[in-house]
């Protein structure tokens, strides 16, 4: 396994670790106070933290990367409510797992989720499924705060469940099976404390986002640029601060003659982090006639990325499309995303 440190690229370039401060761990458990008047939108957080590498391994069709940072506050989402999770005094770190396809390096948000067992000397230290999460600098990942038992080598066993999302194109027939991998993680408090911790006293709370990290070994989750989406882009709109891109494919290997495909890619503003776990309804009308009216299905495709789609029985070139958000993305949020993407807008393309 690889234990080298992965400090952030773009977003943290030039950030200095608070050398000589000597109180980084207590600083993390006393994270800066939240911004008082947070917009109902993506905003710049009070701070960002660097990240260390805990290990990586192949598990079946998946690659799994495990990283860590200081314990975080984060928000879980049920319905349209975000509930804050506070850092506990016993929390040692925020442990994160990223799952991706080693062939395309696409990060896969698996709604079936994964579980992580943390063991040391054969004893279970922690056993819980981390939350699916989005973070401005980390993108989509699974994460939670964990209490470890001091410095030492821990075995992290990750079980990734099989994807239930529709898998299209080259992803067809892949990622259907659960798989498991174990890595050794040599945890040292002193190494954790060397991670960067950069505050933004002047810009915190402003609408905007810190940049996505670039990492050497682990891809970050980013939806394709609108211009890179296959097919015809019917339109781009924004609602509850998320960006919705509707595209229309009349030709694809997974379509039969006379069929087309509606794909709705939902991503964060600024960083294009895909937003999974939405309930979406879609309508397609051709020449005033309804060609499709039903739930859209979460799907992954090498070129479209993670999206919500439907096969429609028409080969019309210019359909009119309606999309209703029935429930907002139920992914947990790191700071800066917890007030965004919580409403249920509707769109016409």
Partner 1 sequence: MTGRGISRREFAKSAVAIGGTAALAACLDRGSASVPEGTDDPSTLPARQHAWNDALATDDAGNPRMPRHHVLLLLDYAGDGTPTDAHRERVETALRDLERAYAWHTEGLLFTLGYGPAYFERFESGPAGVDLPDPAALAPFEDPDFDTPDALLHLASDDERVVLEAEEALKGTRGTANDREMTASFEGIFNESDRRTGFVGAGLPADNQDVDGVPDSEPVPEESPLFMGFKSGFKGNQATEDRVTVESGPFADGTTQHLSKISLQLQQWYEQDSRDQRVSKMFCPAHAAEDRVEGVGENLGTDSGMDECPEDAVESGRRNGVVGHSQKMVSAREDDAPRILRRDFDSTDGGQAGLHFLSLQGSIADFVATREAMNGTDVAENAAVGQRVNNGILQYMTVERRGNYLVPPRSLRALPPASPN
136: left (phi over 0), alpha (psi -120 to 50) or beta: alpha
Min. distance of Cβ 326 from partner 1 in angstroms?
5
Does 327 bind partner 1 (CB under 8 A)? Our answer is yes
Min. distance of Cβ 179 from partner 1 in angstroms?
11
- Between 159 and 250, name the residue whose CB sits nearer to partner 1: 159
Instruction: List the alpha helices (DSSP H) in the chain.
Output: 24-29, 189-193
Site for partner 1 (CB under 8 A): which residue of 83, 184, 251, 293? 83
Q: Name the DSSP letter for residue 24.
A: H
- Between 50 and 282, name the residue whose CB sits nearer to partner 1: 282
Contact yes or no for 47/31 (Cβ under 8 A): yes
Cα angle 285, 288, 292 (rounded to 5 degrees) comes to 25
Site for partner 1 (CB under 8 A): which residue of 121, 127, 287, 318? 127
Q: What backbone torsions phi and psi does residue 191 show, to the nearest 5 degrees? A: -70, -40
Among positive and negative, which fits the CA dihedral 346, 239, 338, 308? positive
Element (H, E) at 118: strand 114-120
Instruction: Quote the CA–CA distance of 64 and 81 in Å, as a whole number.
Output: 30
Instruction: Quote the CA–CA distance of 190 and 119 in Å, as a whole number.
Output: 21
Does 131 bind partner 1 (CB under 8 A)? Our answer is yes
- Between 21 and 326, name the residue whose CB sits nearer to partner 1: 326
Does 343 bind partner 1 (CB under 8 A)? Our answer is no
User: How many of the other CB atoms lie within 10 Å of CB of 182?
Assistant: 16
Min. distance of Cβ 123 from partner 1 in angstroms?
9
Site for partner 1 (CB under 8 A): which residue of 12, 31, 51, 77? 77
Measured CA distances, 245 to 41, 310, 335 (Å) = 18, 14, 25
Does 112 bind partner 1 (CB under 8 A)? Our answer is yes
Considering only residues 232 to 261 of the shown chain, the ones binding partner 1 according to CB under 8 A are none
Site string for partner 1, 266-305 (x = CB under 8 A): -----------xxx---------------xxxx-------
- Between 279 and 320, name the residue whose CB sits nearer to partner 1: 279
> Which residues of the shown chain bind partner 1 in the complex (CB under 8 A)?
76-81, 83, 85, 88, 90, 111-113, 115, 124, 126-129, 131-132, 144, 159, 161-162, 164, 178, 277-279, 295-298, 326-330
């Amino acid at each position: 396994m690889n234990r080298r440190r992965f400090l952030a690229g773009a977003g943290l370039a030039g950030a200095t670790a608070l050398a000589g401060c000597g109180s980084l761990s207590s600083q993390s458990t006393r994270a800066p106070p939240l911004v008082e008047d947070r917009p109902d939108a993506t905003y710049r957080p009070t701070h960002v933290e660097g990240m260390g590498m805990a290990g990586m391994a192949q598990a079946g069709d998946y690659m799994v990367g495990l990283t860590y940072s200081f314990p975080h506050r984060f928000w879980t989402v049920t319905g349209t409510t975000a509930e804050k999770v506070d850092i506990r005094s016993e929390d040692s770190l925020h442990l994160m797992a990223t799952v991706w396809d080693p062939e395309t390096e696409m990060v896969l948000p698996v709604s079936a989720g994964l579980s992580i067992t943390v063991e040391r000397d054969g004893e279970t230290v922690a056993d819980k499924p981390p939350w699916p999460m989005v973070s401005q600098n980390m993108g989509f990942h699974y994460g939670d705060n964990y209490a470890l038992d001091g410095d030492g080598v821990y075995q992290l066993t990750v079980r990734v469940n099989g994807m239930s999302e529709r898998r299209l194109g080259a992803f067809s027939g892949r990622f259907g099976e659960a798989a498991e991998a174990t890595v050794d993680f040599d945890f040292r408090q002193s190494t954790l404390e060397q991670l960067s911790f950069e505050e933004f006293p002047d810009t915190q709370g402003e609408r905007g986002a810190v940049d996505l990290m670039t990492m050497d070994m682990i891809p970050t989750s980013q939806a394709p640029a609108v211009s890179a989406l296959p097919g015809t882009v019917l339109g781009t709109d924004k609602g509850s601060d998320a960006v919705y891109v509707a595209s229309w494919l009349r030709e694809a290997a997974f379509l039969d003659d006379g069929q087309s495909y509606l794909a709705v890619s939902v991503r964060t503003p600024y960083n294009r982090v895909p937003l999974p776990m939405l309930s979406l309804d879609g309508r397609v009308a051709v020449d005033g006639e309804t060609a499709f009216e039903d739930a859209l299905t979460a799907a992954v495709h090498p070129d479209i990325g993670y999206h919500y789609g439907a096969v429609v029985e028409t080969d019309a070139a210019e359909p009119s499309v309606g999309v209703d958000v029935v429930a907002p993305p139920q992914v947990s949020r790191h700071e800066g995303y917890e007030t965004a993407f919580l409403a249920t807008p509707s769109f016409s393309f």
